[in-house]
Structure 1
Amino acid sequence: MKFTFRKYERINKQKEIDAVITGGRKFFENGLLVYILKTDRNYSRIAILVSSKVEKSAVIRNKFKRRIREIFRLNKYKIKTPVDIVVVATQISVRQKYKILEESFLKILNQNGILNL
């Protein structure tokens, strides 16, 4: 089992991010806003959006991105159906601790029936 975060597991194109936001299901838990769209690929992908309007400090914005990426990296093997995930930061979620972010993220995936626990 590889725990690396591969380049192909990122959603880079704005067109693909918009497709997930418009066509996917929306979930909100503890300030964490997540859009999920099932895909035909045999792997899951993620995009993390943090606006400078949400948090001025680039250090905190990047810290949030690293935390979400790490949560995804450590738990991607539990995802049973391939999905595209877009995580949108809110003012509440940007400053939350890792453990709370992890619980919220996994709860959203579990509620949607995506996680294989």
Structure 2
Amino acid sequence: MMNAIPPDADRVVFDRRELNLILSTYGRFVAAGEWRDYGMSFLRDAAVFSVFRRAAEHPLYRIEKRPRLRAAQGAYAVIAMDGRILKRGHDLAQVLRVLDAKLIRPID
């Protein structure tokens, strides 16, 4: 049996609970036909989950975890393609709810 690779102390990562929340949101948007691809980056100061409509584009949204901001505005943020911070906070589930409004559309 293989052991899991130990986390790199020099990088910020999403834990299993955080990834479950993010991938649950991602799955709803994929099912709705809105999102088609994602990418993850694990950097020294942030973990970033980027969402794409198509793989060759700039990300529509970035979901970021920045532990250094935990005591101030909160470690989690959803950032739009143009760089606007749509929501920031301490609770990832609450921060991700800003995206739910994007799924609600009037029926013609």
More strand by share: 2
- Highest CA radius of gyration, 1 or 2? 2
Please tell me the TM-score bracket, short chain as reference: 0.3 to 0.5
Higher RCO, Cα 8 Å, sep 6+: 1
TM-score, normalised via structure 1 length:
0.31
TM-score, normalised via structure 2 length:
0.33
